[in-house]
Structure 1
Amino acid sequence: MAKKIKLILAEDEIALGQIIKESLETRDFDVILCENGEKAFEKYKSEQPEILVLDVMMPKKDGFTLAKEIRAIDDSIPIIFLTAKSQTEDVVEGFSIGGNDYLKKPFSMEELIVRIHNLLNRTQVQKTADILNIGEYQFNFPKQLLHYKEEAPLQLTHREAHLLFHLIKNQNKVLDRSLILNKLWGTDDFFSARSMDVFISKLRKKLNKDDSIQIINVRGFGYKLTV
Structure 2
Amino acid sequence: MTKASLLLLEDDPNLSESVSEYLENCGYSVTCVYDVSAAEDTLYERKFDLLLLDVNVPGGDGFSLLKASRKEGNVTPAIFITSRNSMKDVEEGFESGGDDYIRKPFALKELLLRIQTILKRNFYHNPTDVLKLAEGITYDSDNQVLLINGATQNLQLKEHKLLKLFIQHRHELLSHEMILEHLWDYDETPSDGSLRTYIKTLRKLLGKDSIVSHKRLGYQFR
| Post-superposition offset of 1:44 | 1.4
Match in the other structure for 1:136:
149
Q: Does structure 1 retain, via aligned residues, the 8 Å contact 2:77–2:124?
A: no
Unmatched runs of 5 consecutive residues or more in structure 1: 155-227
Note the 1:65-214 alignment, pairs <5 A.
65-74=64-73, 76-123=75-122, 130=141, 132-134=145-147, 136-137=149-150, 142=167, 143=170
Taking the aligned partners of 1:52 and 1:150, their CA distance within structure 2 comes to: 31
Match in the other structure for 1:45:
44
TM-score using structure 2 length: 0.59
Taking the aligned partners of 2:83 and 2:45, their CA distance within structure 1 comes to: 29
1:39 match: secondary structure: helix
Q: Does structure 2 retain, via aligned residues, the 8 Å contact 1:8–1:32?
A: yes
2:98 match: secondary structure: coil
Taking the aligned partners of 2:117 and 2:207, their CA distance within structure 1 comes to: 38
Q: Does structure 1 retain, via aligned residues, the 8 Å contact 2:77–2:123?
A: no
| Post-superposition offset of 1:37 | 1.4
Q: Does structure 2 retain, via aligned residues, the 8 Å contact 1:10–1:53?
A: yes
Change (3 A) 1:10 1:151: closer
Taking the aligned partners of 2:49 and 2:69, their CA distance within structure 1 comes to: 13
| Post-superposition offset of 1:110 | 0.4
| Post-superposition offset of 1:46 | 1.2
Matched residues, number: 151
Change (3 A) 1:134 1:51: same
Change (3 A) 1:87 1:41: same
Letter in 1 for 2:149: E
Q: Does structure 2 retain, via aligned residues, the 8 Å contact 1:76–1:123?
A: no
Letter in 1 for 2:146: N
Letter in 2 for 1:136: N
Taking the aligned partners of 2:9 and 2:206, their CA distance within structure 1 comes to: 45
Change (3 A) 1:83 1:150: closer
Match in the other structure for 1:173:
none
Alpha-carbon displacement from aligned partner over 1:32-86 (angstroms, at most 9, x marks no partner): 0000111112111212111000000001121011111111133531100011111
Taking the aligned partners of 1:132 and 1:75, their CA distance within structure 2 comes to: 22
Change (3 A) 1:138 1:6: farther
1:52 match: secondary structure: strand
Taking the aligned partners of 2:147 and 2:77, their CA distance within structure 1 comes to: 26
Q: Which runs of 4+ in 1 moved over 6 A?
A: 125-129, 138-141, 149-154
Change (3 A) 1:96 1:136: same
